[in-house]
Amino acid sequence: MSQNDVVLVIGGANGIGAACCEVMHAHGWSILVADKDEAGAEATAARLDGRSFALDVTDIAAIESLADRIDRDIGRLAALVVSSGIFQPNVPVEQAPADLFDTITAVNLRGTYHANRIFGARMAAQGGGAIVNMASATAHASSPNNIYGPGKAAIINMTKCFAGEWGGRGVRVNSVSPGIVLVPRIRGLKAKGDRYPPDLDEQMALRRCVEPREVAETVEFLASSRASGITGTDIVVDCGWATGALWNAYLGGLR
């Protein structure tokens, strides 16, 4: 990248998206933050000398009008990061409301699709750009996340489809699959002993969960020209969670 390349981080108000904004700013990018959480987006942008926009990714017309506004007021986007997402409550499928599938899919898969479609087409027309989508470790294995996980698996496949679609016009499209990332929400659940078992860290080859900064550094790498030969790829950043999985069956845990 050249100094001051502009990145738009959708979902940059909080968590991994906010870490992406911070890390990318430290690497010299100019930061645009778009999020449904308008106050959070403003706070991230204010810390980083960036600009913020209110955006609900379920609203296709709003994504179009944000793209028009950026074209008009700011100019070329070098990169797009899509980190907006919502999570699945941990309940058996028999107890899940019928509309849960649509609620989660509307933000995670449909929102990511339309953001890629709208901004990717503009990047292809301008002759280049990079997109990084947020998938998940749950895309790669069975888990209780029977809506969230399949949606993330679809994001990985969609990423490969768009990489093929626009590669000839200089647009690279990749995804990152985080494991359990210590964003404030998860740090809180873990500290209370809610949802996660006390030996959670021991299940990871690196004996700890992922820091948001570690996902953000991977996102920044994929968005930058240092990854100029990489497209259609998913990088797992899980501190070796998947690596540890089969050790339970053999030894009751990692050695």
Ligand X SMILES: NC(=O)c1ccc[n+]([C@@H]2O[C@H](COP(=O)([O-])OP(=O)(O)OC[C@H]3O[C@@H](n4cnc5c(N)ncnc54)[C@H](O)[C@@H]3O)[C@@H](O)[C@H]2O)c1
86 is a contact residue toward ligand X (CB under 6 A): yes
Please give the C-alpha separations between residue 193 and each of 105, 162, 187, 199, in angstroms, as whole numbers.
28, 40, 10, 10
Interface region with ligand X, contact rule CB under 6 A, candidates 15-23, 91-99, 117-125, 218-226: 15-23
77 is a contact residue toward ligand X (CB under 6 A): no
Interface region with ligand X, contact rule CB under 6 A, candidates 45-53, 177-185, 198-206, 220-228: 177-185
Supply 68's token pair: 């028009």
Least distance to ligand X, CB of residue 139, Å: 9
Interface region with ligand X, contact rule CB under 6 A, candidates 8-16, 22-30, 158-166, 199-207: 8-16
- Helical segments of the chain, H only: 15-26, 38-47, 60-73, 100-105, 111-126, 148-166, 184-192, 212-223, 241-244, 247-251
23 is a contact residue toward ligand X (CB under 6 A): no
3-state class (DSSP) for residue 9: strand
The correct pick among 30, 88, 116, 136 for binding ligand X (CB under 6 A) is 136
81 is a contact residue toward ligand X (CB under 6 A): no
9 is a contact residue toward ligand X (CB under 6 A): no
Side by side, the strands of the sheet bearing 129-134 are 51-54, 30-35, 6-10, 79-82, 129-134, 171-178, 234-237
In whole angstroms, give the CA distance from residue 227 to residue 222.
Answer: 5
- Provide the sign of the torsion angle of the four alpha carbons 191, 193, 195, 197, taken in this order: positive
Please give the C-alpha separations between residue 125 and each of 76, 111, 129, 170, in angstroms, as whole numbers.
11, 21, 10, 10
The correct pick among 20, 107, 158, 222 for binding ligand X (CB under 6 A) is 107
The correct pick among 7, 8, 16, 81 for binding ligand X (CB under 6 A) is 16
148 is catalytic: yes
14 is a contact residue toward ligand X (CB under 6 A): yes
The correct pick among 180, 222, 227, 235 for binding ligand X (CB under 6 A) is 180
Pairing of strands 6-10, 129-134: unpaired
204 is a contact residue toward ligand X (CB under 6 A): no
Summarize as ranges the residues that interact with ligand X (CB under 6 A): 11, 13-17, 35-37, 40, 55-58, 83-86, 107, 111, 134, 136, 178, 180-181, 183, 185-186
Which residues are tagged catalytic?
Answer: 148
